[in-house]
Each structure stands twice: as structure tokens, then as C-alpha cells.
A and B are shown apart, each in its own frame.
Chain A
Amino acid sequence: MRPDPHTLAGAYALDAIDDDLERRRFEQHLAECAECAHELATFAETAARLGQAMAVEPPPGLRANVMAAIGQVRQLPPAVASPGARRRRIGWAPWLAAVAAVAAVVLAVVAVRAQDQVERLEAANRQVAAALAAPDARVATAAAERGGRGTVVISREEGRLVFVAEGLPALPEDRTYQVWQIAPGRIRSAGLVGAEAATMVLAPAPGVSSVGVTVEPAGGSPQPTGTPLLLVEVPAT
């Protein structure tokens, strides 16, 4: 189902799209449609009117709590065009090793860089092997927006979902990558990963339709705060 994206502008402005993929598609459309972006801006102003009509005095403790909290929060820098050349020079040996974890199984290629990484990855490797060996195993892969890629291996019979992230750009210290299992109407955190490659072995969430990766404040978030920079659709069995 791929309806005219324009009609979604109202639902989007009201935060009424609970399907992550659908929202992401609309955002992609927005990036290409200046008229839609303008319409959405007027909708945001309109929605703000609805919101401010609800104003009530906040609880007395809120102000002190907020003021105390901001003292411990580093502010984001302004968004500026980043010098793209600098990314992905650092830390690619580790991700190569983890790519190998899957590659060793899928392609029978052994490309091991360091003994400790091998040991660390062996357990994951066995799980990947088990998932892949299952009769119903399916594999999907997708490229990330700013470099890197993700691979999903799912076996519903084995109850295993393996997610491998590779080559994601390095992040500032106060940010982390967070992996999500996305089912229609429900997003569940699968854990945090660094910029180096990571292999996660998960139990598939009920109805999981994709696995996404977002950038979150260090320590992670209960729900994603931004759009995924990597989204791998989980193949249906």
C-alpha cells in the first residue's frame, strides 16, 4: 500500500502515524517536497494553538527540577554541514572483524584480525550459524544513511533474530547508537551499540517488521527520539 504521501501531512503533524516505516517514508517525501514542508510548518503552528489552549499551572516542583537538570545536560551544537571526509577513518579494524563474524558463516571467508575479537565473537558466531542453519532462516540487508550497513538474519522457528551493524560513523561521546525492534504500533529497544561493529542475538519481538538504529543521548532512550539512520526490513517467513 503506497498512498499519496500528501494526505499523510495531517496525520504526521498530529503525531498520528505510529508505523515507523510509514513515517520515515513521509519524511523522505518531505525532504523532496518544499510545498509539503511548508504546509507541515503551518500545521505545526495550528497544532500549537490547540496545545496552548490546554495551559495549566505546572506542579510547583517542576521548575526547580528542570533548572537542576539543565545544569547537567550538555547542549547540542548547531547543525552545520559536516566535513564528510573525516568520517570512518577511525575504528574500522573492529568492524571488519565483526563483519567477518557473519561473513565466516555466510561466505566461508575467514578474515580475523585479533585473537580477543575472535573469542568475543565466537559465541555470537555460533548463534548466527544456528539462526542461518534453520530451515526458515531469512536474511535481509540495508545501507545506512551516512555510511555503514545492517544485516538481519531471522529464524522464527528458532526464535532468533540476529542483527549485525557494520561501519556506522563514529559518534560524539555523549551520543550512542540504539537498536530497535519495530512492530506496527510498538517499538522496543534492543540495546545500545557503539560505532564499531556489533552483533546482537535477540528474541524476535511479536510482529517485528523491521530493525532500526537511531542516534540517542548516551545511556539510550526509552523510545527513539529521532528517525532511524538505518532501517532493515525483517523478511516475512
Chain B
Amino acid sequence: MVSRARDGRDMGPENEPRGERAEHAPAGLERWLAAVARGDRPAFERLYEAVAPKVYGLVLRVVRDRALSEEVAQEVLVEVWRSAARYDPRRGSALAWVMTIAHRRAVDRVRSAQAGSDREERVARMEVHRPYDEVVESVEARLERERLRRCLEGLTPLQRESVTLAYYGGYSYREVAELVRSPLPTVKTRMRDGLIRLRDCLGVER
């Protein structure tokens, strides 16, 4: 499972030729998810193999605490089982659907855990601790990761920080604005145009 998580073979349909995925017979994850919606446990086990390392890795990145991350990852995976029938392949890939659930849960957990004073402290701490550096470190020789790294480097510093502080750090745009000392409208705009540039660089289907 480890090797599969690392080597990208399980990256699923999103690595297939663009423009063919959603409209045709669903491949890989999408097919399994459709079976999961009908209560198919073996299909869920295959889905688990494919997505659990990504779900756990993302949750851990945002939440940081290992025990808590395991708990959140479990909630996410159970939620995938529970609401599989609500996944609509016309609206995006199965992986994006799963990762959206994972990120939302992780962020909810971080936000509900933090009280006002705690939040200020966390913001202060973040000033010397920028997630982007860690992204760079954990991007190994893997092709996909290398591509992501290059694409992140292609962003302006403010775009990159706005996107990564929000996504990996779990910060709200208000908090991000405070961290990067920029006006709110600027940060909102940088998040959007940063994602547009990243999307186009990664060749995400439009």
C-alpha cells in the first residue's frame, strides 16, 4: 500500500487522457464508487486502498496531530461509504470528491478546536513556519510531485502563499490576509487567480 501510494500507479482516472473521463463509462475510482453506493464492501476495500493514503496524508498535513488525524481520516472514509450515492460523476472526478470531503473535515476540525486566543497564537507561530517550504521538501523525484512543484513555483509569491496557507495550513482568507499582510480583496483574488494558473499548469481538464 505504501509503495502504491508513493509511485502514483493508483492515481486513478485523473491521470488518463483529458476530456474523456466524465462523459464515458466511468473508470477506476468512479466505477468503484458507484459499486460502493450499492453497498459493495469489496469495492469499498479497493477504493480504500486507492484513497486512504491521500486522505490521511492531507488530513495530517492540515491537522498535524497524528491521533486526531487518524480519527478525522476515519470519519472521512466512513463518510465516503455513507454518501457514495450522492457522488455525481458529471460534476467531477471521484478523487476530487473524496479529497473535498477530506479537506473540509480537516479544516472543520482545526477551526472548531481553536478558540480566539489560540488562533492568534497559531497565526503568530505561522509567521516563521510557512507550509510551502514543507511542500517543497516532501516533493520527491516523483513526476507528478515534480510537476506540482514546478507549477507552484510558477505562481507569484503572493498567489502561492495564499493558496498553500489556505489549503495546507487550513487558514481562512482573513487569517491568510493577516499572515501575508495584504488586503482582504487582494488575497481573495490571489487565491482565485493562483488556482487558475495552477490548474492550467497542471493541465486539469476544463
Contacts and interface: CB of A to CB of B under 8 A. Distances in A.
Interface of A: 3, 6-11, 13-18, 41-59, 61-63, 65-67, 69-70, 73-79, 185-187, 222-223
A52 B70 contact: no
B185 interface: yes
Given A16-B173, A46-B198, A75-B81, A53 B167 contact: no
Interface string B92-107: 1101110110111001
Contacts of A186: 111, 116
B195 to A, nearest CB: 5
A183 to B, nearest CB: 10
B4 to A, nearest CB: 9
Contacts of B6: 55
B87 to A, nearest CB: 9
Contacts of B92: 41, 44-45
B116 to A, nearest CB: 8
Interface of B: 1-2, 5-6, 11, 14, 37, 39, 41, 44-45, 48, 52-58, 60-61, 66, 70, 73-74, 77-78, 81-86, 91-93, 95-97, 99-100, 102-104, 107-109, 111-112, 116, 119, 135, 138-139, 144-145, 148, 162-164, 166-168, 170-174, 176, 185, 187-195, 198-199, 202, 204-206
> 9 shortest A-B CB distances, which residue pairs?
A10-B192, A10-B191, A58-B56, A18-B172, A54-B57, A14-B166, A16-B166, A48-B99, A51-B58
B189 to A, nearest CB: 5
Contacts of B91: 41
6 contacts: A16-B171, A46-B204, A52-B95, A59-B70, A66-B48, A70-B81
Nearest to B66: A59
B96 A7 contact: no
